[in-house]
Amino acid sequence: MKNTSNRDCFCALCRTPRKLSYTRHLNGLNYLQIVLLTAAFTWATFPLFQFKALSSVFVIWATFEISKKLLYRKDIKCKVCGFDPTWYRKDVRVARRQVENFLKENPDSPMLRAKKTLNNVEISS
């Protein structure tokens, strides 16, 4: 059976094979968790808020959406070169600056090592 939550892809910049484990959107299990959490919260605070406690579904839903998006954003950034496709779509200059900063902070990144090896081959030949 194919697991659709693990998506194989390549980094658009350094071509490193990647495996994304998070999606941007909530899945069926997440919605079930939201319903169960809302039911538990409503049950626990019923003497205090009565049926108004049901409105906590919006807060719980928003929390799920935000955390899912944060996990996705953290997951989609390449660990080898620091390339972030989400930023690339919004602003190319920001994405470029992020990659430059990432490579400055990680001088032993496999991407820089590959480039150095390539340069040595070019010099020696």
Nearer to Zn ion, 13 or 76 (CB): 13
- CB within 8 Å of 73: residues ≥ 6 apart: 84, 86
CB of 109 to Zn ion, least distance (A): 9
CB of 6 to Zn ion, least distance (A): 18
List of residues 6+ apart from 120 with CB closer than 8 A = none
Residues near Zn ion (CB under 5 A) are 11, 13-14, 16, 78, 80-81, 83
Smallest distance, Å, CB 110 to Zn ion?
A: 9
How far apart, in whole angstroms, are the C-alpha atoms of residue 94 and residue 84? 10
How far is 93 from 119, CA to CA, in rounded Å?
26
Nearer to Zn ion, 83 or 87 (CB): 83
| Closer to Zn ion by Cβ: residue 65 or 75 | 75
